[in-house]
Chain A
């Protein structure tokens, strides 16, 4: 990312606030939304900040209207975003399909909560991982980013606007309650970044913003490059669908982004995304003996248990485990090639996620020659590093226990 130089500031922000700051930095000048837990801080902050930045803000009557309004605003020439969660995200699906087929660059933030339906308004989940990819009807490809920290809430929001313009597509920032509500010290920039809205060659729809004398027709039916309907013509419609999808699938390498940690000599890889990448990273650090103060409270719990008279409290030694982390930042399109590359050495892959085990199916599909173990956790609580390490011990069949107090 070639960011326009702006003064760097260290600030403590909540994830949802960082997302708002990132959007404003990326030049977002329109926000429409509807309050819903746990994303509400974004609309709250936008209601105060957007107009100060010279943009427009509106609280719409529902999430359907919010998603539609940002598409309308983008054709008016303003970069636009909305933010929601759970049920609101479900209501936006038709508009996401509309943005995909009309190739409208918009950013939609989904701060995931537990579902289905009203589900768990205040607790976290990663249950929308497939909805983010397949939520709207019909065949389309989409870009989805999964931030795992407050810094990434800021950085990935900026990246979402860049990718949206580059590929003329809706981009989903798939956050969750954990990263949305946590506070961390992050670095943000003053000023703003100019993300150009250039004419893209792989686009099959009209692209000119309104009021430039180009008579742009934005058509939700399958259409030609002039925006005229072709939905009644089988062959041309087929070509349209393939081209629309190829825009993303041909550029997976350009879009894909993953981070690795201790993968050089790893036998076991933890593949995770979003907030679950945090305990996954801590698990790796713990096994590798890398000091991390944030692990201290976990040992305190063990000690407390001893004090409270629990007789056999044991602490397991994980130091023989050669564990590495693969953190997937762009969850969709699935980074097949990159994942294969970085996991060449390992024979076992653990996929912890806060749902019934969905993304692991995708990992399994791609890493056919490896043992892929899904580590599902539902209920709203994130995995602990120890849980992840215990799972690795369990599946690798090495179980060396050391007694704490004997």
Chain B
């Protein structure tokens, strides 16, 4: 076991329940590297929902709440308000975050409350055996879209950017170094940080979503089908986080507003204005 693992992983909880080839392990390591980079392990607690990705923090040597389906952000808000001095990291999936938990995502982003949300997007409900999720591409055949998925997929980054989220980035499991850097930036940023990670689920979604069952090949596809977006650059589609004219998905940092006032800052400001001693 390498040193990072020794420090961050509860050995007695291993092995993980992830399938071979799952992207969760890459994300689990990236978040460990991010915490290590900031040297902030003692100040971090994790909250997760239900789904494969929500098991990521359960192996960490950290305080963790593995909550209910869709509600991780709501639990995290309570924890953050209870301990404003600490960093709260949320692990959630596309279904957990945008379908059943959509309401909490909207309002937490709008509040710009200081949380770091890592949304693992594998385009499928993996744990229940491969049903369509809010991000499943149109036409993809899944267990609950046998004739092809009908709904247009939701774009989480675009959604939270339209609200008050002040740090928004998207990376893939094929970009582990950039991902670790983004999570570190998110943890360091005071405000609602949202990091979408495009991940692979070779077992439940492989062929139907990516036309590939091999995890390495899916990751190869991620490299081919994405382009690096740079803040301030011309966006051919006119909408950040949307596919460009060639149909490529933008990855990278979409928004980093350092001056946006965080929720708790605004609370304290209002209380001070009203003369309420704290």
Contact = CB atoms under 8 A, between A and B. Distances in A.
Contacts of B103: 61-62, 65
A60 B108 CA distance: 9
Contact of B104 (A51, A61, A98, A221): A61
Contacts of A80: 78, 82
B67 A51 contact: no
Contacts of A61: 103-104, 106-107
Contacts of B156: none
Given A69-B74, A215-B63, A217-B64, A78 B82 contact: yes
Interface in A179-224: 210-211, 213-221
Interface in B36-86: 42-43, 45, 47, 50, 58, 60-68, 71, 74-84, 86
B276 interface: yes
Interface string A216-235: 11111100001111000000
A98 B74 contact: no
Nearest to B70: A64
A58 B58 contact: no
Contacts of B61: 215
Contacts of B12: 226, 228
Interface string B259-278: 00000000100010000101
A217 B58 contact: yes
A98 B70 CA distance: 13
B10 interface: yes
A77 interface: yes
Contacts of A29: 82
B82 A76 contact: yes
Interface string A47-80: 0000110101010111011101111111111101
A53 B77 CA distance: 20
B233 interface: no
A58 B78 CA distance: 8
A75 B67 contact: no
Contacts, number: 130
A226 B276 CA distance: 41
A318 interface: no
Most buried by A among B43, B60, B81, B84: B81
Given A51-B271, A75-B63, A211-B45, A64 B79 contact: no
Interface string A72-106: 11111110100000000000001100100010000
Contact of B81 (A56, A95, A102): A56
Given A61-B103, A61-B107, A217 B66 contact: yes
B65 A218 contact: yes
A213 B42 contact: yes
B117 to A, nearest CB: 14
A219 B78 contact: no
B278 A54 contact: yes
A250 B12 CA distance: 32
Contacts of B267: 51
Nearest to A217: B64
B78 A72 contact: yes
B276 A77 contact: no
A220 B66 contact: yes
Interface string B184-208: 0000000000000000000000000
B13 interface: yes
A229 B80 CA distance: 25
A210 B103 CA distance: 26
A62 B71 CA distance: 11
B84 to A, nearest CB: 8
A32 interface: yes
Contact of B71 (A32, A58, A95): A95
A221 B79 contact: no
Nearest to B58: A217
A149 B58 CA distance: 45
A71 B84 CA distance: 16
Contacts of B74: 60, 64-66, 68-69, 72
Nearest to A226: B12
Contacts of A60: 74, 77, 107
Contacts of A52: 276
A211 B83 contact: yes
Nearest to A61: B107
A75 B79 contact: yes
Contacts of B10: 215
Contact of A71 (B75, B81, B83, B278): B75
A72 B76 contact: yes
A154 interface: no
Interface in A87-137: 94-95, 98, 102
Contacts of A68: 67-68, 71, 74-75, 78
B145 to A, nearest CB: 27
A69 B66 contact: no
A69 B75 CA distance: 4
A76 B84 CA distance: 10
Interface in B1-53: 10, 12-13, 42-43, 45, 47, 50
Contacts of B107: 60-61, 65
A54 B267 CA distance: 12
B65 A72 contact: yes
A77 to B, nearest CB: 6
A70 B78 contact: yes
Nearest to A59: B107
B78 A69 contact: yes
Contacts of B86: 76, 210-211
19 contacts: A51-B267, A51-B271, A51-B276, A58-B77, A65-B104, A68-B71, A68-B74, A72-B47, A72-B65, A75-B65, A75-B82, A76-B82, A98-B68, A102-B65, A210-B79, A211-B63, A219-B66, A228-B12, A229-B58
Interface of A: 29-30, 32, 51-52, 54, 56, 58, 60-62, 64-66, 68-78, 80, 94-95, 98, 102, 210-211, 213-221, 226-229
10 cross-chain pairs, A with B, having the tightest CB-CB distances, nearest first = A76-B82, A72-B78, A69-B78, A72-B75, A68-B74, A72-B79, A73-B78, A65-B74, A210-B63, A73-B82
